[in-house]
Each structure stands twice: as C-alpha cells, then as structure tokens.
Amino acid sequence: MTTEQALEPRIAGKVEDLRGAIRAALPGKVEVAIIAGSGLGGFARGVEASASVSYSDLPHVGAATVQGHSGTLVMGRAAGVPLVLLNGRRHIYEGIALDEATVLLRAVLLETGARIVIISNAAGGLNPTFDVADLMMLSDHINWMFRNPLIGPNKEDWGPRFPDASDVYSRRLRGLARDAAVEAGITLREGVYLAGHGPSYETRAEVRMLRTVIGADAVGMSTAPEALVAAHMGREVLGLSVITNLLTDPAITTHEEVMENSKKAEANFKKLLETLLPKLVKG
C-alpha cells in the first residue's frame, strides 16, 4: 500500500463505486437532498419521481432494515423543486460504523451537487411543553453517540480536517423554515436534539439527566452523523424531528407507538416541506 492510499478514508472507494451507480440510475443535478425518516412517508409518496433505485441494488449500502423505511433513492420533484430523496437510512444500532452509515449521503451529495440537505427523524420529547406529533426544528444537536463519522483519514477535497460545528443547522434555512411554518399555519417547535446510539430507548434516570443536566429537548438515534457529514462538505443543513413519544410520560415507549405517532404528523410535515421547498431554491 502506498502512503497516498493509506491516507484515504476507508470509505473513499465505496463512495466512488456509489457515485458510478447513482450516475447510471439517477443522472442529473439537484439543489436539495432530503433524508426521509419516520414521518416523511406522506411527503415521500407525493414526490413526482423521475427515477429511483432500491438501496439493495446499490453497492455498499445494504438494505434498510427497519420497519417503516422503504430503502429507496429517488430523483424527482416536489412543489416544483428538483430533489433527491434518501428514503430510509442506516443507523449506528445496526452495528455499523458512522462513516459506513453515511456513505450513501456522501456519494449523493458529491454526485448530485445538492447544496441543501434536509434531515428528518423521529424523536422522543424531553421538553415538557412538547406534544405527540409536534414538529421540532433542530436549533442544534448534541452528539451523544461518542463517535463521529469524520474519524479516520480526511479527504481535503470532501472537507476540512477540523470542520466548524457551531453552525451545523443553517441560520438561513431555519429562518426560511419558520416563515414556511407561519405561512402553512403549522406550529414549529425548536430545540436541541440529542443523538443517542440506541437501540434501547432511554431509562428514566437517563431521561432526567438528558433534560435537566444536558438540556436537550428531544432524543433520537440518527441525524447528527448525517448533519456532520453534510456540514463537512460545506452544505446547508436543516434538521426536523417528529415528536413521536413523550419521554416525560410515565408510560413506556414502544417502536409501534413511535411508528403510529409518526404517521399523525405526516400531513403537517408534507405541508411544511411543500411550502418551504420553493423558498429554499429562490434563496
């Protein structure tokens, strides 16, 4: 192995393979990439697709293993805006490393040129003013996974070795999302998302700590790695959570409840995105 090869991120070859596969299946450039987590099903079904490919037909991605995530990459339009939709994602709780979990996003951003990345997720509410099916825009995150997708050799043409993370969730996009929520008549909460690794939900002691000591408003099992990768590549990021369960409740949390409640937010989520998308590309 030459020194140069040794200095490449270990996913570099996979990103190149994926770029080739994306170029073949979904040619073209777009402004916006959307990672659809739970709650974006309604929006995803409304996208006018021009091409799509199943994750299982892409190299190095693996099928989306979680119920409720379709595992397809779609190129199309919503509200007239050209976009690429990552319908389903890999998670750290599958036992994969974070650079692997975000390899598809890297390849999509490089190949489609998307400058704006919207990341959605399901999250448990810690803020006592939140309700089930509320939408929360991420003002910031706390990476509680104790791992980072940028660990390993850095590729300078992807982004800097030590990227700033003080403004991962773009002020410009947050302002436009607030405007869109008002226009669409939707209440949009804002708060700090804590990204845990899962797959267990939080213990009661963890809930108390995360709320009172750490100061998080919601907790989930994704988004921070993808936001860090997108920010590393200089993209503008918007993060949106659906509050699917209230961790402050005495009731237990189940995956069924999370899936069920994420559906309750689908109509609002779709309306918000369809109002927001044209504003994003207008500038």
Catalytic residues: 38, 69, 91, 93-94, 122, 221-222, 245, 255
Q: Among residues 37, 39, 189, which one has the least CA distance to residue 127?
A: 189
Least spacing, CB of residue 226 vs ligand HPA, in Å? 15
Does 247 participate in binding ligand HPA (rule CB under 6 A)? yes
Report the residue number, 53 or 142, with the smaller CB distance to ligand HPA. Answer: 142
Does 221 participate in binding ligand HPA (rule CB under 6 A)? yes
Question: For ligand HPA, which stretch binds (CB under 6 A), given 41-49, 84-92, 104-112, 122-130?
Answer: 122-130
Does 195 participate in binding ligand HPA (rule CB under 6 A)? no
Question: For ligand HPA, which stretch binds (CB under 6 A), given 23-31, 77-85, 95-103, 245-253?
Answer: 245-253
- For 241, other C-beta atoms within 10 Å of its C-beta total 31
Instruction: Please list every residue from 147 through 176 that binds ligand HPA, using CB under 6 A.
Output: none
Nearest 5°: phi and psi at 141? -135, 160
Instruction: Please list every residue from 25 through 84 that binds ligand HPA, using CB under 6 A.
Output: none
Least spacing, CB of residue 205 vs ligand HPA, in Å? 14
Q: Which residues contact 138 (CB under 8 A, 6 or more apart)?
A: 169, 190, 191, 192, 193, 223, 227, 238, 239, 240, 241
Q: Which residues contact 249 (CB under 8 A, 6 or more apart)?
A: none
Q: Where are the alpha helices (DSSP H) in 113-254?
A: 171-184, 204-208, 224-232
Q: Which residues of 22-58 are buried (b: 16+ CB within 10 A; e: fewer)?
A: beeebeeebbbbbbbbbbbbbbbeebeeeebbbbeeb
Does 265 participate in binding ligand HPA (rule CB under 6 A)? no
CB-hemisphere CA count at 13 Å for 26?
A: 31
Does 135 participate in binding ligand HPA (rule CB under 6 A)? no
Least spacing, CB of residue 248 vs ligand HPA, in Å? 10
Number of residues that bind ligand HPA (CB under 6 A): 14
Does 202 participate in binding ligand HPA (rule CB under 6 A)? yes
Binding region for ligand HPA (CB under 6 A): 122-124, 196, 201-202, 219-221, 244-245, 247, 253, 258
